Amino acid sequence: MKQTRRHFFKKSSLFAITAAVAPQVIKAETLGLNGGTAANSRVNIALLATGNRARSCAPYFRDSRVAVTTLCDPNRQRIAQYKNFIKNQLKQAFTGKEIQDFRGALVDKDVDAVHITTGDHWHVPMSLAAARAGKHVYCEKPLGLCIEQCLAAREITQKHKRVFQYGTQNRSLTPVRMGIQLVLNGTIGELKKAYIWAPQGASGGSATPVLPVPPDLDYDLWLGPAKEEPFCHDRCIQQGGRNGIFHINDYAIGFIAGWGAHPVDQFQWYADRAGLGIPVAYKGSGILPEEGLFDTLTHWDVECVYANGMQMNFMDTVTYNKHRDAGEIPAVKAGHGSMFIGEKGWINVHRGGWDFSSEEIRQHAKDEMKIRLKTSSNQHLNFVDAVQGKAETVSDLESAIRSDCICHLSNIAVRTGKEITWDQKTESITGDDQAKGMMKRKMRSQYDLSLTA
């Protein structure tokens, strides 16, 4: 069943529509919370965007507790491709709703939750709109397009009491969890330093030739909060990691957050339990493309210092390799990582597993751990468990805000070429008006969510 709400929504602002939808007030017992049994245990989920990343949602289709009821994408061709994925790869027939405008899912009382895999610039605005409409939210990383958006996202859980899962799925990997637990339990002694690295960004791209908007694409909705720009291939058409939506500052701050969110989040998992907060000082260097459409950092090397004096260095993989080859950092082959350097050795965790400075440290993984982290074997199904009141999300919103702010502050430090100071109490940059101004982004008025609402 295909539905198009385009003409209806064109006449109304995003905020006006979502504000008009009263949040669903549901008793905790009805959802299975507070020891109650859910009246309907099935969780109905709408997928907001159906590009390549949406393919990670396959666990929903394989779980009897879940029904993917709605596919939303401003590009109807993407919806058709995703339906083929469901049919050919998951061996199922999709019979639900297909809509271009995600707001159609938000006014649908049958939708319990949304899974957001859009471009970064839509993450927080869409998450807020969903929460205001009473939906639970799974949002892919990174979190906000700016620090202001990250902080505003608290409304989702604090005001609307919705479940939120952050899409840093490395937290659902056993080696990552076990490695961080070893650090928390003192296996490498007192933590002295940390190194974090992620794949470098991309340069290039061209704003020409300007092309006609494909008939199946609602380009205005695709742009959403971002400023209006002519349609062109490199801005909108996916080409693996070189998709412009990842490397154009209007839609993202680049791989420093788009990929950096994973290893930074891994370290933040440790930092939350250790009571570190986030670094209070940032300084570093990096490379911005000098020509082409892509205008986010391709390389970065940032020194981040915590209030207790502990230092964490955050860099791209090419920069890590240079430090590694010079003998300045322990050598591992992982393309990204969160490396903990202690007085007794080091541990590195990443998507591919974990690395140790010695076999003795590795053997401690068999020890009984006094400090344990939340356990999840699947990020998506952990979200379903949380919606049903059976567990807490392994990647909670507060931790997401903290780790994403590290990425933004590192980006600001490189772009300004200045040392950035962060006040953890006021959650603001201090002593530099230019840098403080970079905590915010302008949004097109018709998609302005009024972040303070």
- Assign residue 17 the CATH number of its domain: 3.40.50.720
Whole-angstrom distance, CA of residue 114 vs CA of residue 318: 36
Q: Does the residue 19 lie in any domain?
A: yes
Please report whether residue 71 resides in a domain.
yes
Predicted confidence pLDDT, tens digits, the chain (453 residues): 443 333 334 444 454 444 444 444 344 444 444 432 253 589 999 999 999 999 999 999 999 999 999 999 999 999 999 999 999 999 999 999 999 999 999 999 999 999 999 999 999 999 999 999 999 999 999 999 999 999 999 999 999 999 999 999 999 999 999 999 999 999 999 999 999 999 999 999 999 999 999 999 999 999 999 999 999 999 987 665 568 899 999 999 999 999 999 999 999 999 999 999 999 999 999 999 999 999 999 999 999 999 999 999 999 999 999 999 999 999 999 999 999 999 999 999 999 999 999 999 999 988 999 999 999 999 999 999 999 999 999 999 999 999 999 999 999 999 999 999 999 999 999 999 999 999 999 999 888 766 655
Same domain (yes/no): 130, 273: no
Asked whether residue 208 is domain-assigned, the answer is: no
Contact (Cβ atoms closer than 8 angstroms) between residue 107 and residue 130: no
34 lies in some domain: yes
Looking at the fold, whether 136 and 285 belong to one and the same domain comes out as: no
84 found inside a domain? yes
Q: How far is CA 352 from the centre of its chain?
A: 19
Are 400 and 271 members of one domain?
Answer: yes
Output the six-digit token pair for 370.
């006094």
Alpha-carbon separation of residue 167 from 63, 102, 349 (angstroms) = 19, 19, 17
Residue 386 lies in a domain: yes
What is the helix (H) or strand (E) element at residue 435, kind and residue range?
A: helix 433-437
Are 184 and 41 part of one and the same domain? no
- Give the alpha-carbon dihedral of 405, 410, 414, 418, to 10 degrees: 90
Residue 211, in any domain of the structure: no
Are both 300 and 375 inside the same structural domain?
A: yes
- Helices 261-274 and 397-416: angle between axes, nearest 10 degrees: 120
Q: Do 80 and 191 fall into the same domain?
A: no
Report residue 40: phi and psi, to 5°. Answer: -135, 105
Q: Is residue 393 part of a domain?
A: yes
Q: What is the CATH number of the domain that holds 383?
A: 3.30.360.10
Question: Looking at the structure, do residues 79 and 47 belong to the same domain, yes or no?
Answer: yes
**Which of 120, 148, 170 is the endpoint of a domain?**
170
Model-level pTM greater than 0.75?
Answer: yes
Domain identity same for 268 and 312: yes
What does the H/E/C string look like for 49-101? CCCHHHHHHHHHHCCCCEEEEEEECCEHHHHHHHHHHHHHCCCCCCCCEEECC
The burial of 119, by beta-carbon neighbours within 10 Å (0-12 exposed, 13-18 middle, 19 or more buried), is given as buried
Angle at 341 between CA 340 and CA 347, to 5 degrees: 50
344 and 310 both lie in a single domain: yes
Residues 177 and 79 in one domain: no
Are residue 181 and residue 85 in the same domain, yes or no?
Answer: no
Which one of 170, 187, 220 terminates a domain?
170
Q: Number of folded domains in the chain?
A: 2
Q: What are phi and psi of 217, to 5 degrees?
A: -110, 125
Structural domain boundaries enclosing 80:
2-170
Q: Are 309 and 289 part of one and the same domain?
A: yes
Rounded distance between C-alpha atoms, residue 320 and residue 325, angstroms: 9
